[in-house]
Amino acid sequence: MPLKRNPCGAIPLDLVESEFFGHSKGSFSGASADRKGHFEEANGGTLFLDEIGELPKSVQVKLLRVLQEGKVVRVGTSKEIAVDVRIIAATNRNLAAEVTLGNFREDLFYRLAVGMIRLPPLRERRGDLGLLIDHLLERIVEKAPGDLKVMHKKLSSSARNVLLNHAWPGNIRELFNTLQRAVVWSDSEKIDADLINAVMLSGPALQPLGDEVLHRPIENGINLEESIATVARHYIERALVHTNGNKTKAASLLSFGSYQRLNDWMKRYGVTG
């Protein structure tokens, strides 16, 4: 059965339960017929819960019950319906930090956190950025409509440096759209830095972690716990990379007394390794 995607953040709050678990005819205004929810639709397959960090806590507890018991109850009924669904969840939030702040249920977090993959933002993947630029530029040129008469395009070294030193808060989508605008507006084969600067949306250049974390504006308040979590994840991940995943050596680099303490910090801040 194909994967069914559900963008949690796009569902109106008053319809979340109905979307997830279904409803019976007449259970609320506008419910003109019985309707299966996402879990029933995905029965026997995979349900992708995108933006799961946006779910209200009232729905989190019901989602936890479904994951624990493998049964859903449609809105307006008391009948349990068995479902067998594999869950893949994604979020741009740090759920471990959200648990600490009380915004996400701890029991649901550990129920979901079976196999975790952290995809770093582009600003933390400097080594990948050059390859992505080349790949996306080639793809844009190949798929350009014929009436644009797009020829082979190359980036000047200065244009590439501008791209490499941008923070890319919009990640891959922002990079793709920037390159696409450059291709459309370029009159020659070579794209120069002036054109890249002209088509790039305003955004921050890359900054060292210390500047980013230590010099955030404080006038309107800051999330201190999240800032601490950012620093912790940064150095834990660097230590693990430096030691090729050897937790004992990584713990020593971080002045932890044992790798068990490192494990505790990794779990607290959602670091896998």
pLDDT of 142-167, one tens digit each? 887 665 556 678 898 888 888 888 88
Q: Where are the beta strands (DSSP E) in the chain?
A: 4-7, 46-50, 71-73, 80-82, 86-89, 154-155, 190-191
Rounded to 5 degrees, φ, ψ at 69 are: -105, -15
Q: Where are the domains of the chain?
A: 4-112, 122-199, 209-268
Antiparallel, parallel or unpaired: β 71-73 and 80-82: antiparallel
The reported pLDDT for the residue numbered 149 is 59
> So what's the pLDDT on residue 11?
67
Mean pLDDT, range 171-184, rounded to an integer: 92
Read off the pLDDT of each residue in 208-231 and give the average, rounded to a whole number. Answer: 69
Burial 176-187 (b: 16+ CB within 10 A, else e): bbbbbbbbeebe
The string of pLDDT tens digits covering residues 110-122 is 999 888 888 888 8
pLDDT at 206 over 60: no
User: The domain 122-199: what is its CATH number?
Assistant: 1.10.8.60
> Tokens 């291709």, residue?
183
Q: In the CATH scheme, what is the code of domain 4-112?
A: 3.40.50.300
pTM for this structure?
0.55
Q: Among 27-36, 37-46, 180-189, 262-271, whose mean pLDDT is lowest? A: 27-36
Q: Is 54's pLDDT higher than 80?
A: yes
Angstrom distance (rounded) from CA 187 to CA 75: 58
